[in-house]
Chain A
């Protein structure tokens, strides 16, 4: 079965600084990969997704992620963080041609200092 690891429980950055949130997945074939964001008390909103093609994926709110097959990683990046980016971020993996149910990581809480 597929699995997702988000090694950082909390990340603290200053407003305007760059951000990278890590995500590693475990699956033998090509996965479908997602990043979601959850603001306090809300459901999850999709930031971006990777199915195939260009390994650098652009998403909403200025986020991007890069799929690296050799490292089994799909890290989320943003060049300049805004205070409104403070939220919980979840990486998820689905399996192409198999069980499509998305499996989620444990989440990374982003704290933004002014």
Chain B
């Protein structure tokens, strides 16, 4: 079975902390994504990566950065967490244009 694994299901962090969300895929996919999911807003793309060390901003990159040092791992970084970043974060990977995205279980982040 293909697998996308997010390191934490639930996280509680304090305002101003630096937060790392990790995502690992075992499918040798080139493309990886970070989405944020909020009620009524669906999934919004934060960042994506189409190769190691390559990254592109999505629709809502402000307050976030990413790192992709290895093909299988894509990290989302909240430089200084704020309460409006409380959300569900979903990582996905994709092999190419004619394939579907595979999702991790999600990380529910609460910033207090």
Residues of A within 8 A of B (CB): 6, 9, 32, 34, 36, 41-46, 49, 51, 90, 92, 94-97, 100-107
**Distance in angstroms between the alpha carbons of A16 and B30 in the assembled complex:** 42
CB distance from A68 to the nearest CB of B (A): 21
Q: Can you list the 4 inter-chain pairs with the closest CB atoms, starting with the nearest?
A: A43-B103, A100-B97, A106-B42, A104-B43
Q: Are B97 and A97 in contact (CB under 8 A)?
A: yes
Q: Which residues of B contact A (CB under 8 A)?
A: 4, 31, 33, 35, 40-43, 45, 48, 58, 90, 92, 94, 96-98, 100-106, 108
Contacts A42-B106, A101-B45, A104-B43 supplied; 8 other A-B pairs, CB < 8 Å: A36-B103, A41-B108, A44-B103, A90-B43, A95-B97, A100-B31, A101-B48, A102-B94
The answer to whether A94 touches B42, judged by C-beta atoms less than 8 angstroms apart, is: no
Decide if A43 touches B97 in the complex (CB within 8 Å).
Answer: no
> Which of B45, B98, B102 has a CB less than 8 Å from the CB of A32?
B98
Instruction: Name, among A42, A90, A105, A106, the residue most crowded by chain B CB atoms within 10 Å (CB to CB).
Output: A106
A43 touches B105 (CB 8 A): yes
Q: What are the residues of chain A within 8 A of B48 when measuring CB–CB?
A: 101
Q: Give the residue of A32, A95, A107 whose beta carbon is less than 8 angstroms from that of B42.
A: A107
In the complex, how many angstroms separate the beta carbon of B2 from the nearest chain A beta carbon?
A: 11
The interface residues of chain A lying within 8 Å CB-to-CB of B41 are: 106
